[in-house]
Amino acid sequence: MNKLNKDRLVFLEETVAFYSEDTSRRAVREDGMCMYKTSDGRSCAIGRHISPTKYRKDLEEISFSISLFRGVLPNEYISLGNLFLGEIQYFHDEECFWSYSGLTEAGIFELNRIKLAIKNGGYD
């Protein structure tokens, strides 16, 4: 496995560990919409890597795209690629993947699907 895919795997596993430890950290509003950052300190899988000095409220109005987040996210995350980061964002956002205690069965299935895609170079 190349370095980029190892970095993707680390990012994925760290993201799962962070939200599994306390799923209330997820920045999902009551209406099911995800936010990059909330006023009460929660953040999404992408938003939690945006420094407070780079965060702007207008980011909440746009879907994730590397071209729009260049200069907002650290380069180490930008280098993971748009497709991969989009998958991570989707994984974070979908309620069916998370329960109060961590990943659901569907979440475990999705986690394993993303891991397999990483190992098979599906995000290159």
Chain segment 43-65, per-residue pLDDT in tens: 999 999 998 899 988 888 888 78
Bigger pLDDT: 71 or 108?
A: 108
Q: What is the pLDDT of residue 67?
A: 82
Look up the domain containing 39 and give its range.
3-119
> Is 124 within a domain?
no
What distance in Å separates the CA atoms of residue 111 and residue 92, rounded to the nearest whole number? 11
Distances (CA, A) of 29 to 16, 58, 93, 107: 19, 17, 10, 19
Whether the pLDDT of residue 31 is over 80: the answer is no
> Is 48 within a domain?
yes
Q: What is the pLDDT of residue 19?
A: 94
Detail the DSSP E strand segments found in the chain.
98-99, 102-103
Bigger pLDDT: 71 or 118?
A: 118
Q: What is the pLDDT of residue 66?
A: 78
> Is 15 within a domain?
yes
Q: What is the pLDDT of residue 63?
A: 80
Report the domain count for the chain: 1
> Is 94 within a domain?
yes
Whether the pLDDT of residue 32 is over 90: the answer is no
Whether the pLDDT of residue 89 is over 80: the answer is yes
Rg (CA), the chain: 14
